[in-house]
Amino acid sequence: MNVGAQHHEIRRAGAKGLGVFATKLIPRGTRILAERPLFTVKSDRDLYPALRSLTQKDRDHLKQLSLSENKKPLFLDWAEATWHVVRGALSRPPAQTSDNSNTTPAGRISLDDYKTFLATFRNNNFNIGNGTRATFRDISRVNHSCVPNSQGNFNTAIGCFTVHAVRPIDQEQEITISYLDEHGAVRGVRQGQLFESYGFECNCPVCEPKTSRGRESERRRTAVRERLMQYAETASQRREPDLKMELELLLMLIRMLEEEGIAGRELATMYLSAAEGSLKLGDRKAAQRYSKLGLEMDEVCLGTDSPLFKESLQRMRSIPRA
């Protein structure tokens, strides 16, 4: 399933290799992509049988995905990699579904190919929940930005990983998502996580320390981080939680993300938490305002068919009208 194919194309993205670009204006909330995984695994030991089930065409496509130089060193030592290959070679071969190489599993995998596939998988997989990681044909081409214009989420209702535009994307602009779970971190934390998990250093606009935008972003994020650390240091000394202070800190985080231009589920969840916090403090008008913002953001980045959106909708039904 590939929704919105008319909106994008895959082409060179400079030093990043291939990327996904808008072929015309993409409105906010558009579902750009909805794609089923090439395969899914829960651990490295599941990778070999998953690869054996692929057709040669799918294996060739997997080999074409980006592979950072920093991810090429061995992730498994030769002994363990050899064990996976030998064990797979001794197991029953995949069932032959047809004589067409595009639909017939390709069978055994050499040790060298397995190690290449492993490194490629590590550099191009997404967490789709419940400890499961997956690789995709087109979505694995979508590059990272710390202030992305799109967001990816797995929609269990349709069995697809979806990518939605969280703001309008101009024609010829690259479509980006964030590979990070937490979007408000300072530059050093972001760079460390990206290098450790994906083997690259981000050079998006907010990661450039020599530009005014990069410096302002770091100042803003550092101020929020320091304020949160101050609160954490004193929170353990309180007998009861300070609901007013916690709401103020949450609103500070929301403002920071808004000023950074970051939109998506993280912000939506904060809006919904702010709605609940406002209600506890007796401010029904604010609770309604934040509830509306949260649900709107969830609809933009998930779509109304997503179970996650429906969970948020159910969560906010407890918010009374002002």
Query: Domain extents for the chain?
Result: 5-177, 264-322
The string of pLDDT tens digits covering residues 109-151 is 777 777 778 778 878 888 898 889 999 989 999 999 999 999 9
HEC assignment per residue over 197-230: HHCCCCCCHHHCCCCHHHHHHHHHHHHHHHHHHH
- Residue 198, SS3 per DSSP: helix
Q: Which CATH architecture has domain 5-177?
A: Beta Complex (2.170)
What phi and psi, each to the nearest 5 degrees, are found at residue 285?
-65, -45
Q: Per-residue confidence at 77, pLDDT binned at 50, 70, 90?
A: very low
Stretch 154-167: mean pLDDT: 96
Cβ–Cβ under 8 Å, residues 224 and 261: no
Cβ–Cβ under 8 Å, residues 301 and 167: no
**Which of 60, 269, 66 has its CA nearest to residue 179?**
66
What phi and psi, each to the nearest 5 degrees, are found at residue 262?
-95, 125
| Run of H or E including 153 | strand 150-155
Burial of 186 (0-12, 13-18, 19+ CB in 10 A): middle
Q: Per-residue confidence at 2, pLDDT binned at 50, 70, 90?
A: very low
| C-alpha angle 63-111-97 in degrees, rounded to nearest 5 | 65
- Record the tokens describing residue 140, joined without a space: 């694995």
Say yes or no to pLDDT of 281 above 90.
yes
Amino acid at the residue 298: D
pTM comes to 0.84
The string of pLDDT tens digits covering residues 16-63 is 888 999 999 999 999 999 999 999 998 877 888 888 888 888 888 887
Q: Per-residue confidence at 81, pLDDT binned at 50, 70, 90?
A: low
pLDDT of residue 97: 45
Question: Distances from the Cα of 144 to the Cαs of 141, 231, 278, in angstroms?
Answer: 10, 31, 34
